[in-house]
Amino acid sequence: MVFAVLADPRTYPDWLIGANRIRALDDDWPRPGSRFHHTVGMWPVHINDHSELEAFDPPRSMRLSVRATALVRATVTISVRGDESSSIVCIAEEPRAGLVGEVVRPALDPVTHLRNHASLRRLARVVRERAGPT
């Protein structure tokens, strides 16, 4: 159940902080190389861009090339360990090489960690809601 939620970008606005809307999903999703098109940000700044699936190994992991403008790019690896009754989800987010990523990384790393931690708490809630009563 956890990986099914993670593998469906349409759920991202429900749990991923900063994801506002999924505008479109390629017909061949989740084939590596396929994309989903999103709107990210917080009022008053909203950015339309896309993320591309680089690797997909259900139910264990997926890797995305994430974009939010030409200057903001990262590789995000989501890993899942466990089973349907109990899972541990890890999000590893690395800025793409480049001057902007390296300059702002020291300031953004703590914020990214806090955002991902809060997003994982929201993910747990979404998964519990979708699983229904047990």
Query: The domain 2-131: what is its CATH number?
Result: 3.30.530.20
11 token code pair: 């759920």
Q: Domain residue spans in the chain?
A: 2-131
Residues of the chain with pLDDT under 50: none
The 10s digit of each residue's pLDDT in 93-104 is 888 766 565 666
112/98 Cα distance (integer angstroms): 18
pLDDT score, position 42: 76
13/100 Cα distance (integer angstroms): 26
